[in-house]
Structure 1
Amino acid sequence: MDVHLVDGTYELFRYFFAVPGHTARDERDVGAARAVVGSMLTLLEDGATHVGIATDHVIESFRNDLWPGYKDGSGVDPVLLAQFPLLEAALTAAGLRVFAMVEHEADDALASAARVAAADDRVERVLIATPDKDLAQCVVEGRVWQFDRRKRELIGPDEVIAKFGVPPESIPDYLALVGDSADGFPGLQGWGAKSAGAVLSRWGHVVDIPEDPTTWEADVRGAAKLAVTLNENRELAALFVRLATLVDDCETIDDVDELRWTGPTEDFASVADYLDQPALAERAARLADARA
């Protein structure tokens, strides 16, 4: 079996900026939530059987206590933020397993569920449905893949190396050096994709990079200056590595059977009506009947 783990936060943002928001009957803005629910039904119609969806129920997480500049939801359109609880309720009514994260982030939930699923011998592939670079650290040869649903691309270790110059296990260190503007930490001054990729491809982790750049065994322009910056900011770099490292022991599932979709709940018809799309309930019912 394949296990699909979906970044619901990414999906909601994507559809918020891609589709009209208002229903025809009043001015409730439900368009993004409605589109995500429809997209998840499409995933099921395409053959998915075990699905988990992670959302940032609260944008803030424990990382905000570690770094004051970490993303906190400020600047996010309140109309978008208001659709998170609606999306979670609608997906749950559709019979899908939702991880609504509060202390941790949706990415942590995806990493945690992926770890459980990958350990199950019945699972052929774990597909983490998101293009988010953070999740590249979860990729495992032959077991865990990133899946860009929009581009229909599977991302394995080779693709991670081709894009970033480092293997999956070095992604947190890579992000620590180059920074992650989406998450709100800047990285180290002067370090860019090429220099970080070259050094980490040899040493793997920031903590293992030698202080003396003449021993780096990597062809890096301006190595001496980069070494000074790193050596003066090793504690900061370690903090950024921690920010970029996903937590993989969050409370999500104990068994992949918890992710099996068996059909919508009795409430889904009224939820679909609230979303001004009764056809969603009809689609879910037809699919459940076909699998019965």
Structure 2
Amino acid sequence: MSIEVHLVDGTYELFRHFFAVPSHVTEDGREVGAVRGTAGSVLRMLEEGATHVAVATDHVIESFRNDLYGPYKDGSGVDPALLSQFTLLEEVLEALGVTVTAMVEHEADDALAALAAVAAADDRVDKVWICTPDKDLAQCVGGKVAQLDRRKGVVVDAAGVEEKYGVPPESIPDWLGLVGDSADGFPGLPGWGAKSAAAVLRAFGHIDAIPADPAAWHVKVRSAAALADTLAENMADALLFRRLATLEVDAPVPGDVDALRWRGPAEGAEALCASIDADGLARRAAALAEARA
């Protein structure tokens, strides 16, 4: 039996749908538009043939990374109408029978990385799709694992990672450590841009392997001496930023691919979906379960 595993970034999907679909407020005053859109999108994936699916969410936006670096993203500034839908999304997806890994100490990206590692290690699994365009997850690509941008229909494998970022998947945390990641709230090092970081890391792989003397770099990089000085002066920051960008494959997730198999909606799905004016979601899930029986 050949299995394909689909791992969905629920937080990304919730944000995307919040800004992409019309607002929908229930009679009791709850904004539920993004939940309805995200749940419908996951259900459509199942209707198109996916069998083993997990959705990773940030149950709490802050994580252990906030203890390592104060300015790390913490959810401040996120629209309350969006924040209010995080827990509801988990409840609706679970009611529809979808496996949800809700992170508290870790982040959704860590869960995706951990799930990808579990799935890739299973001999029955032929392909692992990490469904998000997030550049952090590029570090997990390789072998059975690829990224899939469902919205654009773009697949990125290991060669695609190198083509896009200029470095192989294993150097993505180092690359982010040098150039920063504004979405996660850390700046990288002054003067280190995407091209210069990629050129140096293609030669040396990791930040701590870069020679202190730029004369030993043997790569064409503009202002190499200045970049070397900056790295020497800010090495601690660079290593910290790399740590922030490194995903934790030991995040708490199911350790068995069988736990990700969709088996149909749970009891109470109809009532919960009706409460967000989305009766059709429960009907679709029930019809799909009957068709697969």
The Cα of 1:275 is off from its aligned counterpart by 1.4
The equivalent residue for 2:80 is 78
Deviation sequence 1:198-257 (CA, Å, 0-9, x none): 000110000100000111121100000000000111111111110000000111011100
Structure 1: distance between partners of 2:76 and 2:187:
18
Alignment of 1:193 with 2:194, yes or no, is: yes
| Contact 1:23/1:276 (<8 A) preserved | no
| Contact 2:186/2:241 (<8 A) preserved | yes
Structure 1 residue identity aligned to 2:79: D
Q: How does 1:55-204 map to 2 (within 5 A)?
A: 55-141=57-143, 143-204=144-205
Structure 2: distance between partners of 1:115 and 1:228:
37
Alignment of 1:247 with 2:269, yes or no, is: no
Structure 2 residue identity aligned to 1:16: F
Alignment of 1:3 with 2:19, yes or no, is: no
The equivalent residue for 1:46 is 48
CA gap 1:279/1:171 in 2 versus in 1, 3 angstroms: same
Structure 2: distance between partners of 1:24 and 1:275:
6
RMSD of the TM alignment (CA)?
0.8
Structure 2 residue identity aligned to 1:71: K
- What percentage of aligned pairs have identical amino acids? 64
Structure 2 residue identity aligned to 1:250: A
The Cα of 1:16 is off from its aligned counterpart by 0.3
| Contact 2:147/2:157 (<8 A) preserved | yes
Structure 1: distance between partners of 2:172 and 2:274:
43
The equivalent residue for 2:292 is 291
TM-score, with length taken from structure 2: 0.98
Structure 2 residue identity aligned to 1:229: T
Deviation sequence 1:57-110 (CA, Å, 0-9, x none): 100000001111100000000110010000000000010110110000000000
The equivalent residue for 1:234 is 235
The equivalent residue for 1:32 is 34
The Cα of 1:26 is off from its aligned counterpart by 4.9
Structure 2: distance between partners of 1:253 and 1:27:
35
| Contact 2:61/2:75 (<8 A) preserved | yes
| Contact 2:265/2:286 (<8 A) preserved | yes
Aligned residue for 1:116, secondary structure, equals: helix
Count of residue pairs brought into register by the alignment: 291
Aligned residue for 2:241, secondary structure, equals: helix
TM-score, with length taken from structure 1: 0.98
Deviation sequence 1:36-77 (CA, Å, 0-9, x none): 110011000010000000000100000001111100000000
Q: Structure 1: where are the runs of 5+ without partners?
A: none
Aligned residue for 1:124, secondary structure, equals: strand
Structure 2: distance between partners of 1:43 and 1:70:
32
Deviation sequence 1:139-179 (CA, Å, 0-9, x none): 013x1001100011111011101110000000000000000
The equivalent residue for 2:208 is 207
The Cα of 1:27 is off from its aligned counterpart by 3.3
Alignment of 1:22 with 2:21, yes or no, is: no
The equivalent residue for 1:264 is 265
Q: Structure 2: where are the runs of 5+ without partners?
A: none
Runs (4 or more) in structure 1 with deviation over 4 Å come to none
